Structure 1
Amino acid sequence: MPIRRRLLWASTMTAFLALGVVAHAETISYADAVTSLAKDCGADIKKLCSGLNLGNGQIADCLQKNSAKVSPTCTSTLGTVTASIKQRQAKQVAYYEISKRNMATTCKGVKGDGNMLSCLVKSNRIVSGPCNQAITDAGWR
């Protein structure tokens, strides 16, 4: 999946999850985020938001509208997952700026976001430390 499409997906996921809860968290993968939400919020979603689609923030709106009825576990998980996804998204955006010089030198002529990332990962011994760290922080290694 191209990086720009990933960022769009991450933005959509963040909008879906955003309830304005701020928490400090390590980044987790999107699959782990969905798994955690399904485990900890599934019953609340089924009970309070049955029949709504995942898209367009309908579930997030429903949970926010019914926040007094949402379980503390779901509220906590939602806050943690939201913070983690926002943190990962910020790291993915920062990766481009941090790695721009390495892209132009080490991977000159490579086309496509995924191919560029692959080139940088394969060239990790000659890519700068900050670029390598940005790739790791973004969750791509």
Structure 2
Amino acid sequence: MRTIASNTGIGRLKHIALFTFLAIASAGNAAPRPLPCSDEIARYCKNLGLGGGRIQNCLKEHDAQLSPACRSGLESALARHREIQAACGADVERLCKEVRPGKGRVANCLREHHRQVSSACKETLAAARKAGNRTKPNP
């Protein structure tokens, strides 16, 4: 399987993982909990808007000012990214190759093709959603 990457050099699934992290972290039936980096985003990146990796780049630029909770959240997102890439990369390549990343297009593509998505990808995405729905961080 070839690496799934955009022409800008930023991995296609890296975008998916970041938005998955943001969506999963705020999902659930309970009251939404604040994102680990919400204070940093409000302080340093508030006028950037979503898309194009702007928030991700902003957080990288302000790496020295990030709180431990934000750093931990980003590390968790990166770990999830690796898991999602390993489990879903072939599905994205096979089913959503022509889909431009961003604005949930790849996630929608996978949903549209849910019957064709591998069980490993489905299980990994379900586990990521479940991890995002926890009300308390793991010790």
Q: Distance in 2 between matches of 1:30 and 1:69?
A: 20
Point out the structure with max Rg over C-alpha. 1
Structure 2 residue identity aligned to 1:50: K
Deviation, structure 1 residue 93? 2.2
Q: Distance in 2 between matches of 1:30 and 1:57?
A: 13
Q: Report percent identity of matched pairs.
A: 26
Task: Give the TM-score normalised by structure 1.
Answer: 0.50
Q: Where does structure 1 differ by over 3 angstroms across 4 or more consecutive aligned residues?
A: 8-11, 33-38, 94-97, 112-117, 135-138
Contact kept? 1:41, 1:74, Cα under 8 Å: yes
Number of residue pairs matched by the alignment: 98
Using the TM superposition, give the Cα deviation of residue 61 of structure 1 relative to its aligned residue in structure 2, in angstroms. Answer: 1.1
Higher helix share: 1
Give the CA RMSD over aligned residues. 3.9
Q: CA deviation at 1:94?
A: 4.3
Counterpart position of 1:137: 123
Separation (CA, whole Å) in 2 of partners of 1:116 and 1:70 = 38
Q: Partner residue of 2:43? A: 47
Q: How far 1:139 sits from its partner (Å)?
A: 2.7
Indicate whether 1:81 and 2:77 are aligned: yes
User: Could you tell me which residue of structure 1 aligns to residue 137 of structure 2?
Assistant: none
Question: Which amino acid letter does the alignment assign opposite residue 70 of structure 1?
Answer: L
Instruction: Summarize the Cα distance change of 1:37–1:49 in structure 2 as closer, same or farther, 3 Å threshold.
Output: farther
1:61 to 41, 57, 60: 57
Gaps of 5+ in 1: 1-7, 18-27, 98-111, 122-130
Partner of 1:31: 23
> Which runs of 5 or more structure 2 residues have no equivalent in the other structure?
1-10, 94-108, 128-139
